[in-house]
Amino acid sequence: MVDFSKLSRPKSRSVPTDPIEIFKKTPNTGGAPNDLWKGQADALAAWNDARNENDNLIILNTGAGKSIVGLMAAQSLVNEGVENVLFVCSTIDLVEQTAREAEKLGLSYTKRTAGSFSNDGFETGKSFCITTYQALFLSTSPFKKFQLGGIIFDDAHVSERLIRDSLTVSVSVVDHEDLYKKLVEIVRPEFEKINKGGHLKFVVDEASGGTTLCPPMTAARNSAAIIEAFKAYDYKKHKDLLFPLIQLFEHIACCAVYVSSREIEICPPFIPNAHFEHIVNCPKRIYLSATLDYPTDFIRAFGTSKVNRIEPDNDAGNGERVIILGSLLEEPDEKVDLVSRLKDESKVLVSVPSYRKAEVWKDVCKPPLVDDFSEALNDFRNSDKGAFCLVSRVDGIDLPQNTCRIMIIDGSPSGSNSQERYQVEALQMLSQNATKMSTRLTQLLGRINRGRSDYGAFVIYGHDLNTWCKNERNIALLPALIRKQFLLGASLQDQIGAKSNEQLAKLLNDILGKGESKARDKAWLDFYGDTINGLEVSEDSINLVREREDKLATGASAESEFMSFLWHGDSQRARQSLMAVVDTIAPVDSKLAGWYDLWLGMTYEMDGDLGSASTHYSRARSRLTPRLNVPLISKFNTEEGELTTENPVQRKLADLNMKAGNPFSKFATSLRRNISIVENQSKSSNEREEACRVIGELLGFETARPDNVYKKGPDVVWSSEEEKQLIAFELKTQKKEGDTTYKKDAVGQSLNHIEWLQENYKDYDFCGVIVLGPLGVVSNNASPGDHLFLTSPSEFGEVCNGFVARIDDLIGRTQLERWHMLKELGLLPEYQIDGLSTAFSRRPLKSLM
């Protein structure tokens, strides 16, 4: 008989859940830090206090030890009894790096990178799993079968790109030529329907290098043919097609289709966050980020704005940088020569956005093959001098301290997907791109500058990137220290003048302690220390950026809702999401508002409401570009037969007349409201400029705010591509009536706008620039010439209200009566571009001298 009283029982075992206590008790197996840095300890303490929150965002500088914070939080969740905890990294290299860190800390962990788990610890609830974003967001993710209890997202600031990639199927002409050709033939009729067949031919056959967006309904109308083309190609044999296509298979109709001579890409226009139910339903999510001053892209990635933000005060990672702009050097195009001089004494990291760009550098460094990358990078780490070429990577590469002190950034760190290239290159959606650019640039600056005691030099080449870096509003998007370092670099170059490559190489060697002296220049150290804290961009620029980004964050939430509803077949609720924010977004980013209009139009067209679709497509053309590939309705069916419209104004009125209810009453009210804003001196410059733009849009013209988007050109442009005419406005509405002098600088600025218009609106006719401001005088030393004109806000309003009075005559009449009247009104010359231009240019500015 068994004496059960003598059998051993399991001993009670209590494990700590406080992450700081866990760190203290972990066995140091060698190489792990003895103590947490203050920023790490503060972050863990704050997270421990808020551990029951669904979403915690922990922000620490690059080099401040985010990985250890994440690992301690992961182990804390496991100790708490939370099942199925993931630590997600952006690359396989970073999975391995994080695993090595866990090993040093004596933590139990599981890895998943190559189709299987490294041990059974995760599956048995004994350890967390370190894996990649790709594995988590994959259509066939192995983690879908687990009820995830906690996820730590490392490098959350790069997550949007990685998540979007999981929803993008890219058909390369090199790798999948037959499928590429078949898909081109499927989309070709869509272009031909809108008389854009020649445009597609140019993009595909002439190797223009550009990317174009197919008409928005292309995927919806051709989803069956697209799926059949993939099946006929036996897509399951190709992993690069298989996994994203499975993700999109039932949702092709919701997608955008992009075409270039290199590839065809199919992806949703926004990320449908609700699609990833295994992630959305996870009760505890922790996001680790180095750079997240503005949350727009974070919201786009994860679909949530309700996040507990943990941002401890710490200076770890705040390394010293000297930043030089290549455009201000004596030899701005001799970048290869500069690296040739530097690499004999130092190690130089050269970052380029593409392999095509890398060709320029082949004489000093060539990018390694993908399979050889890690080995080649380690060889560079261990070398004493030389150059290493890094292609299209802004994160996951760490070269701290003496492993590298000099970095060359050659060109804008651009996105790898067709949608982003199309938005930037074809649509000039620069405001939206500015936040992404600031994040990527910050990440690049962290590749060789990893800690408080670190220091390095950066030389930035490329026209677009140099122009971006010279704009204060863009610099305002960067973290505080990096803002100051850009301003310090600008001050340095301004004071020392343009240097030759020989002089710059010596300067950098002195700053970094290279070359003959081998000691850092004390005068530089004093200059840096005395200067850095006294620099900052203007408060106005920071406030403008903050106002814009706050509204863009609201738009990002709406994008997620729109795409998630549309993904699940609810087009009405999808529309409601974007409609609620589009007018809020327009004043701060009219291009993004136009992007919203484009996809709102697509949903209406999908539901058979061609009138509403036409309205939104028209707004999209006005806000984005008249060359947008959307149907342009110019013929309208009336009770008396077909009405063919002859110009933008008439087309706008005909489009309104197709709507039910009382469309002209709302139209007149909207015009009056915006006219009153232009006339109201208490309104801000931004409000008055946007109101002026909206009036042009309501009249049916294409509109733009160049200064707001490009920081160049006039404040507002109304244009008509079909008539090749435009009106340009420079608003001086903050000046006071009766006490106004138009000085030399303001006049010179307006004259510069004429040159900008000639470069950017080739073949357009225009009288000059209309200065919209109070009556006054022109200073004697100004030279306004023959192409600057002045119209007061009240005079502007009088002209526009004349049109509104004509609209009032349409209210209350039958649709048939309105057809006759609007046909006549739409042809009146005084309300075409040319006639309005004449009305606004009756007073030459020089007549006020």
Domain identity same for 173 and 288: no
Instruction: For helices 663-679 and 685-698, give the axis angle rounded to 10 degrees.
Output: 150
Looking at residue 743, the DSSP 8-state letter turns out to be -
Residue 9 lies in a domain: no
| pLDDT band at residue 638 under the 50/70/90 scheme | low
pLDDT at 485: 94
pLDDT over 70 for what percent of the chain? 94
Domain boundary among 536, 562, 581: 536
Tell me the pTM.
0.85
> What is the distance of C-alpha 332 from the center of its chain?
28
Helices marked H in 537-662 — which ranges? 539-567, 571-579, 582-585, 590-606, 610-623, 648-657
pLDDT at 57: 95
Q: Which of 208-217, 406-415, 589-598 has the lowest mean pLDDT?
A: 406-415
Closest listed residue to residue 589, CA positions, set 614, 624, 557, 627 = 624
Mean pLDDT across the stretch 99-117? Answer: 91
Residue 435 · residue 552 · CB < 8 Å:
yes
| pLDDT band at residue 308 under the 50/70/90 scheme | very high
Domain boundary among 536, 560, 575: 536
Residue 8 lies in a domain: no
Top-confidence range, 212-216, 331-335, 533-537 = 212-216
| pLDDT band at residue 317 under the 50/70/90 scheme | low
Secondary structure class of 471 (helix, strand, coil) = coil
Across all residues in the chain, what is the average pLDDT? 89
Checking if the pLDDT of 480 tops 90, the result is no
pLDDT at 11: 53
Domain identity same for 654 and 777: yes
**Pairing verdict, β 308-310 and 55-59:** parallel
Residue 419 lies in a domain: yes
Strand-pair partners of 84: none
How far apart are the C-alpha atoms of 210 and 319, rounded to whole Å? 39
How far apart are the C-alpha atoms of 742 and 712, rounded to whole Å? 20
DSSP 328-343: GSSSTT-HHHHHHHHT
How far apart are the C-alpha atoms of 65 and 39, rounded to whole Å? 9
Checking if the pLDDT of 639 tops 80, the result is no
How far apart are the C-alpha atoms of 40 and 28, rounded to whole Å? 17
Checking if the pLDDT of 12 tops 50, the result is no
Q: Which of 283-287, 493-497, 537-541, 759-763 has the lowest mean pLDDT?
A: 537-541
Domain identity same for 27 and 153: yes
How far apart are the C-alpha atoms of 603 and 483, rounded to whole Å? 42
Checking if the pLDDT of 815 tops 50, the result is yes
Instruction: Give the CATH number of the domain where residue 501 resides.
Output: 3.40.50.300
Domain identity same for 710 and 824: yes
Checking if the pLDDT of 829 tops 70, the result is yes
Checking if the pLDDT of 256 tops 90, the result is yes
Residue partners of 162: CB distance under 8 A and separation at least 6: 90, 133, 134, 137
pLDDT at 736: 58
| pLDDT band at residue 13 under the 50/70/90 scheme | low
| pLDDT band at residue 369 under the 50/70/90 scheme | confident
Instruction: Give the CATH number of the domain where residue 605 resides.
Output: 1.25.40
pLDDT at 776: 86
Checking if the pLDDT of 62 tops 80, the result is no
| pLDDT band at residue 693 under the 50/70/90 scheme | very high
Residue 566 lies in a domain: yes
Tell me which residue range forms the domain holding 81.
19-157+275-310
pLDDT at 674: 95
Checking if the pLDDT of 662 tops 80, the result is no
How far apart are the C-alpha atoms of 771 and 784, rounded to whole Å? 11
Mean pLDDT across the stretch 78-92? Answer: 93
Number of domains in the chain: 5
Q: What is the pLDDT of residues 508-539, one digit of tens each?
A: 999 998 755 578 889 999 999 999 988 888 88
Mean pLDDT across the stretch 816-826? Answer: 79
How far apart are the C-alpha atoms of 634 and 647, rounded to whole Å? 9
Strand-pair partners of 791: 772
Checking if the pLDDT of 253 tops 90, the result is yes
Domain identity same for 254 and 363: no
Checking if the pLDDT of 224 tops 90, the result is yes
Q: What angle do CA 564, 570, 571 make, to 5 degrees?
A: 95
Checking if the pLDDT of 827 tops 80, the result is yes
Question: What is the helix, strand, coil percentage profile of the chain, to 5?
Answer: 50, 15, 35
Higher pLDDT pick, 129 / 155:
129
Domain identity same for 668 and 695: yes
Q: Which of 608-612, 697-701, 811-815, 837-841 has the lowest mean pLDDT?
A: 811-815
Secondary structure class of 289 (helix, strand, coil) = strand
Domain identity same for 610 and 642: no
Residue 512 · residue 524 · CB < 8 Å:
no
Residue 412 · residue 464 · CB < 8 Å:
yes
| Residue owning tokens 């400029």 | 689
| Residue owning tokens 């990527």 | 440
Domain identity same for 578 and 473: no
pLDDT at 66: 87
Domain identity same for 658 and 766: yes
Mean pLDDT across the stretch 718-722? Answer: 91
Residue 284 lies in a domain: yes
Domain identity same for 678 and 812: yes
How far apart are the C-alpha atoms of 792 and 796, rounded to whole Å? 6
Residue 68 · residue 131 · CB < 8 Å:
no
Looking at residue 57, the DSSP 8-state letter turns out to be E
Domain identity same for 339 and 437: yes
686, 691, 693, 694 alpha-carbon torsion, rounded to 10°: 140
Domain identity same for 523 and 554: no
Q: How far is CA 399 from CA 33, 334, 514, 735, 747, in A?
A: 19, 25, 17, 53, 50
Q: Which of 344-348, 431-435, 737-741 has the lowest mean pLDDT?
A: 737-741
Residue 163 lies in a domain: no
Domain boundary among 577, 603, 628: 628
Closest listed residue to residue 490, CA positions, set 292, 321, 685 = 321
Residue 801 lies in a domain: yes
Residue 13 lies in a domain: no
pLDDT at 660: 67
Q: Which helix (H) or strand (E) holds 172?
A: strand 169-172
